[in-house]
Amino acid sequence: MAEEVALYRKYRPQTPDEVIGQEHVVRALVGAIREGRLSHAFLFCGPRGTGKTSTARILARMVNCERGPTAEPCGVCEQCVRIRDGSHLDVVEIDAASHGGVDDARELRERAPTAPAMGREKVYIIDEAQRLSREAFDALLKIFEEPPRGVRFVLATTEPHKMPPTIVGRCQRFDFRRVSTDVLSDHLEWVAKQEGLVLAGKVMVMVMKLTQIYFSIVWIMDRGLWIMRHRKKGSGLLRRVEDTLVPPGSRFAA
């Protein structure tokens, strides 16, 4: 029996063209790659679920693809596949909420300047960067002042006002915007079509009322599909789906 893959993973954007609602960011990154003027450090700011981490991974593929550096990573070479699967040794994702302490700062300072193990460049993606410790920010600042060749950093944050000005001033900043309801609705319909479904209008309205965060929307669809596949058909399906997906008082409630 084939393993079921969560929809948010199955439809996570893998190329610049697949990123939705952030054309200004994609356009700038693609232009920088083509002109050979890519920064060594980036600050991706914006609300949760707007594609900051996904875009950072795409950037890692752009610089490490075997056809690259390229604005159009192939998606099939060993470099691209390993980045997609999260097994690439040179693409390091750090959750600052749990790995932003003194020891982590020391390790980052020691490892960052070393040569890539398997790719063209090392890419550090630091999520919730505003939660790094003072020691970690000091370590980053020293690296940013004399950036080693073949190393890039992407700092993703939902609270850029909490980032030290000394760090912000050494990064190329991109502000991710909330995706419009129309764009999200169109994309939701596209995902449904790929899964062989047609969404009723009332289902679309219900989902869009619950949340306008892309990954939350796809998660809701995933849960709905699971219910429909594992429960017997009957009356009141929409009500049961809504009650199951969004318990009263949850943060997704309208």
194-219: pLDDT as tens digits: 877 776 666 666 666 665 556 666 66
Determine if the pTM surpasses 0.85. Answer: no
Which pLDDT tens digit goes with each residue over 215-244?
666 666 666 666 555 554 444 444 444 444
- Residue range 7-175, CATH number: 3.40.50.300
Domain residue ranges of the chain, discontinuous segments joined by + = 7-175, 181-245
For tokens 């993606």, name the residue: 125
Question: What CA–CA distance (Å, rounded) separates 123 from 60?
Answer: 6
- φ, ψ of residue 251 in degrees (nearest 5): -75, -10
* Strand 41-45 versus strand 172-175 pairing type: parallel
